[in-house]
Structure 1
Amino acid sequence: MEHRDGTRVRAAGSSPSGTVAHDRDWAGDVRSAARCAGALFGLLLGVDGAAGSLTWGRAALWLLLALLLLLVLFPVRVSAGPGWLASRRLLGTRRVRTDLLTAVRPLDGVARRLVLRDTLGNRVELDPAVLVRNPELWYRLNEGARASEAAGTLRCGTADLRLLARRVDRETAREVFRVSGLE
């Protein structure tokens, strides 16, 4: 279907090839980050105004602080298609070929991360919870990782992928039971 200006209309959530998966919770995470930054800005303005020391310079400083918080909290947008996985941040996109993976390593720390590397030297770092919440993203990653393993390029991280697969399967089954009322 086309508009009068010649642009094509696609069904909501579809892509030209129909095979690209996106993080479904990204928009909600952006709204949450914006609400936190707005709440901090409002709180700082309110406290400063109640103390009687609010000036334009201080308001600009509070706005800058709220914007910095927004930048820190702004979520990464993860998408995946046949043979690739991409992580888009504010300043750029990193893409890895999942069918050419060489290593999958979990990073433990304050925030758990999964680091994917491919034979082309590309590197993507993402939160494994994104894969657990979005089974279609996991499916794309797992499909490519199996191809890499079969080709012999994936030498490090197959055990970690199996653990993640069990976690995704467990959470997906739990969600199916919850939705169907069998829980």
Structure 2
Amino acid sequence: MKGRETLSNRFEDGVLALLPRLRRFAIGLSRDRSDGDDLCQMTIERALSRRESYEPGTRLDSWMYRIMRNLWIDEQRARQRRSQTFASEEAGVSIGAVGGQEAAVEINDVDRALTSLPDDQREAVLLVMVEGYSYREAAEIVGCPVGTLNSRLVRGRDALLAKLGEVA
């Protein structure tokens, strides 16, 4: 038990010693002090929550920088998805204005079909097809292997198509 505590203390001391360098790198990546501080905090949180995956004797700084870089890439992808997903405020005024009752019926049909899916399939469909996450990101969110998420998505999509085909 004593050895584990010492190892944990060394890990935490190493992370603490890296803070100024990590913050500088984060601000450099994000080009913004506030975003950099957020990125640095996320990196520290991720490192502390996954400290068991760090191999003692290897370079802690490289491990931490890799975590930060991966978080930054994920954040950039998410920002890009959000910018592509949402319409501008001006365009938002006209969204949904055309189509009338027929469009509303189709949306209700899709909602009903989606609601009828099993939870795991609905979750996969929503994350990948609606929210735009990659298979890997969605699998990470759900906490399952990518192959499992892929099969849930395929089954969910097929079930949706079958249910919507019955309605049409």
TM-score (ref. length: structure 1): 0.23
Higher relative contact order (CA 8 A, sep 6+): 1
- The answer to which structure has the higher helix fraction is 2
- The answer to which structure has the higher strand fraction is 1
Q: Which has the larger radius of gyration?
A: 2
